[in-house]
Structure 1
Amino acid sequence: MSDGRPGSRARRLGVVVNPTAGKGRAANAGVGVLAGLRRAGHDVVDLSGPDADAALARARAAVDGTSGMSGPDGTVDALVVVGGDGMVHLGAQAVAGTGVPLGIVPVGTGNDFAATLGLPVRDPAAAGLALCRALDVGAAGRRAVDAAFVTGPGVPPGGRWVAGAVSAGLDAAVNARANQLRYPRGSARYTVAAALELVRYRPWSYRLTFDGVVDASPTGKAPAPATATAGRRTGRAPRPGDGLHLRPGPAGTATWTGRAALVTAANGPQIGGGIRVAPHASLDDGLLDVLVATDLSRPGALAVFPSMFTGGHVRRRKVHVVRARGVTIEPGPDAWVAGERPLPVAHADGERLGPLPLRVEVRARAVEVLVAPR
């Protein structure tokens, strides 16, 4: 994997492989990555464990210097994960806020975070070469990106870091259903899961509390003058809160209460193997793009879902994006009414996160990622 340049300094690397990712491709990819990094002269330790919890514990120990394989400064030089978005999620728990960079060899089903970064996807040889180039050039091979930090009664103690997005609506229900399906494999599982969930869909009741609202236009981008959110003309420039009628609260907060099909707090633009849930979201703008699709009927939800693959859903009248530094997602006042369907359990980076309420806030430049300069 080395590019053969003289003078490249050997690094001490911890590698975690998810052998089940990408229909089992990650197991073979992991063997190749470990061998290639060692051929390039790096000191490599396989931190993979029998399950995700064991692997995370080993990764954290390697990063904080308690594993016995750390360097003189008490840490590994980098943590490398081999798999999909679930492995990125695991890696974020270990490296966020530490300054230890995360290397990604994306061979999973979704690979949304890696695709957003422009990394080679499902090509472990190319990803390994890119990783070595990033290591060789030092600081120039690192990119600092934002991460979301999630807390709540149902979240593991100490909170949870999220690289891509927190889903708390229909997208979370689809994610949970997809994780239960054995067939079909690959991204087609999300399409089948969506069809199954839409059959029994009804909008849920939410209360959202935002802070640090920058914009509440449908696309999450500053709207042009005299163009209101949701596609209506009002003769004036819209203000934050036009689309969702946010109610001002204390200390600069704003709230919205109502029924919604989708509630997604996105750090990056896509989830679920290419679903562009928040197409204008940026990994390094210090903001979340909070997508709220309000009170859609079942036919409306059926119409919106296909357009999410292109990002066209954000132009629909009942779809809004609020750009803010944080959001608290809670059950709304009607959530406990007799006959209501339970709110979906929130998911993050494709992994189960926990039930509402949740607090999601962005942490700017919390994760450094190894990205070879172009």
Structure 2
Amino acid sequence: MPTSAGSPPLSEPGLHGAARPRRLGVVVNPTAGRGRAVHAGAGVLAGLRRAGHDVVDLSGPDADAALARARAAVDGTGGTGVDALVVVGGDGMVHLGAQAVAGTDVPLGIVPVGTGNDFAATLGLPVRDPGAAGVALCRALDAGAAGRRPVDAALVTGPGLVSPGSGADQGAGRADGPRWVAGAVSAGLDAAVNARANRLRHPRGSARYTVAAALELVRYRPWSYRLTFDGVADGPAGLRSGAGSALHLRPGPGGTATWSGRAALVAAANGPQIGGGIRVAPAASLDDGLLDVLVATDLSRAGALAVFPSMFTGSHVRRRKVHVVRARAVTIEPGPDAWVAGERPLPVAHADGERLGPLPLRVEVRARALQVLVAPR
């Protein structure tokens, strides 16, 4: 396994024999990180075997095949089950892994070599350094229960969801059931930028998001939404607004609260960042049992142009029309003006950089639904 300067190889004494050999399933995304994942994946497989683990390569010719193999290995229907699932790639591979292990006792190991790596960065894992990530993975496995970190995950439901293997905005895709999300669900300009970035071949890396944002802002107008919140956090912590007045929520049945209006950005965040370092919800926590739902109301094109750069530092949440509602769940639907003649279609929702499908959809946090392998400090 390749290592960076100062990162010991997996075969170094003290890392070579695991406390108890584990049976590990590994899934590699060959396209992640401009092809870096192919080389890294081979190193991960070899390194984990040198460390004494029983390793099976679950990678497939496409995402659907890889996910089917991973699910079979996790639930044991493919023969022998696995003690952990390891993904090699970026946030898209974390998303695929979450579909297989969320809600189970099987932990997820991450070797982050993709474009964004936002979920891994939030966890403090070594990013774009497969050698260091492999060493940390072995340390987490050796530590047993101390090497697992339980974090929240969001469960998304809706009639238009497509399978994780439907590709980057390649039409409707295959209909699918609920989807697990590790990081954030984007449903506004953030989703339109994600879709555009997925279609761009150049530039590489996180710069694609900047170029995609510039292209989408040329044709931007705020969209009409209806949001229904469940379990809004009590007190001032539940509703955070920028320099202006708070987002006006109307009480609804069963303790719900609703908002209707035009917005530029709508994102339901489990973690703080997306798109390779865009801090969409800087105060979001992976283990607080709540979503941070960002709503940037009817920004003009100039206002949206001003907000986007500030999202890299998280300072956009201090702006007058940017609000954050902390809640257990949110339903995102087209608003009352969405069907007016001349309206642009609402963006297709994305999550962890992957296409989810059109609105409506419901996003609900599930506390501690995902176990992640993180080396003890």
CA deviation vs aligned residue, 1:20-54 (integer Å, no higher than 9, x gap): 00000000000000000000000000000000000
CA deviation vs aligned residue, 1:255-311 (integer Å, no higher than 9, x gap): 000000000000000000000000000000000000000000000000000000000
Matched, 1:362 2:365: yes
TM-superposed deviation, 1:8: 1.3
CA deviation vs aligned residue, 1:99-140 (integer Å, no higher than 9, x gap): 100000000000000000000000000000000000001000
The 3 A distance-change label for structure 1 pair 339 and 98 is same
TM-score by length of 1: 0.89
TM-superposed deviation, 1:6: 6.0
The 3 A distance-change label for structure 1 pair 58 and 233 is closer
- For 2:157 and 2:76, the matched residues in 1 are separated by 26
- For 2:325 and 2:227, the matched residues in 1 are separated by 11
TM-score by length of 2: 0.88
Q: Is the 8 A contact 1:231 1:317 kept in 2?
A: no
The 3 A distance-change label for structure 1 pair 337 and 234 is closer
Question: Which of structure 1's runs of 4+ aligned residues deviate more than 6 A?
Answer: 230-235
Q: Is the 8 A contact 1:18 1:87 kept in 2?
A: yes
- Counterpart for residue 249 of structure 1: 252
TM-superposed deviation, 1:242: 6.2
Q: Is the 8 A contact 2:241 2:323 kept in 1?
A: no
CA deviation vs aligned residue, 1:53-100 (integer Å, no higher than 9, x gap): 00000000000001xxxxxxx861000000000000000000001110
- For 2:120 and 2:204, the matched residues in 1 are separated by 20
Q: Tell me, what secondary structure is at the counterpart of 2:202?
A: coil
The 3 A distance-change label for structure 1 pair 292 and 7 is closer
Q: Is the 8 A contact 1:205 1:331 kept in 2?
A: yes
CA deviation vs aligned residue, 1:216-260 (integer Å, no higher than 9, x gap): xxxxxxxxxxxxxx999999xxxxx96111000000000000000
- For 2:73 and 2:57, the matched residues in 1 are separated by 11
Q: Tell me, what secondary structure is at the counterpart of 1:127?
A: helix
Runs (5+) with no aligned partner, structure 2: 1-15, 161-176
The 3 A distance-change label for structure 1 pair 9 and 346 is same
The count of residues paired between Structure 1 and Structure 2 equals 341
Identity %: 91
Q: Is the 8 A contact 1:84 1:107 kept in 2?
A: yes
Match of 2:238 among 225, 231, 234: 231
CA deviation vs aligned residue, 1:329-373 (integer Å, no higher than 9, x gap): 000000000000000000000000000000000000000000000
Q: Tell me, what secondary structure is at the counterpart of 1:30?
A: helix
CA deviation vs aligned residue, 1:146-200 (integer Å, no higher than 9, x gap): 000000010xxx3000000000000000000000000001100000000000001
Q: Is the 8 A contact 1:80 1:103 kept in 2?
A: yes
Q: Is the 8 A contact 1:269 1:278 kept in 2?
A: yes
The 3 A distance-change label for structure 1 pair 167 and 233 is closer
The two structures, once aligned, show a CA RMSD in angstroms of 2.3
The 3 A distance-change label for structure 1 pair 369 and 234 is closer
TM-superposed deviation, 1:7: 6.3
Q: Tell me, what secondary structure is at the counterpart of 2:33?
A: coil
Q: Tell me, what secondary structure is at the counterpart of 1:193?
A: helix
Runs (5+) with no aligned partner, structure 1: 67-73, 216-229, 236-240
Q: Is the 8 A contact 1:268 1:282 kept in 2?
A: yes
Q: Is the 8 A contact 2:17 2:51 kept in 1?
A: no
Q: Tell me, what secondary structure is at the counterpart of 2:155?
A: strand
- For 1:142 and 1:356, the matched residues in 2 are separated by 34
Matches within 5 A, 1:44-63: 44-63=55-74
- For 1:53 and 1:144, the matched residues in 2 are separated by 26
- For 1:232 and 1:256, the matched residues in 2 are separated by 13
- Counterpart for residue 195 of structure 2: 176
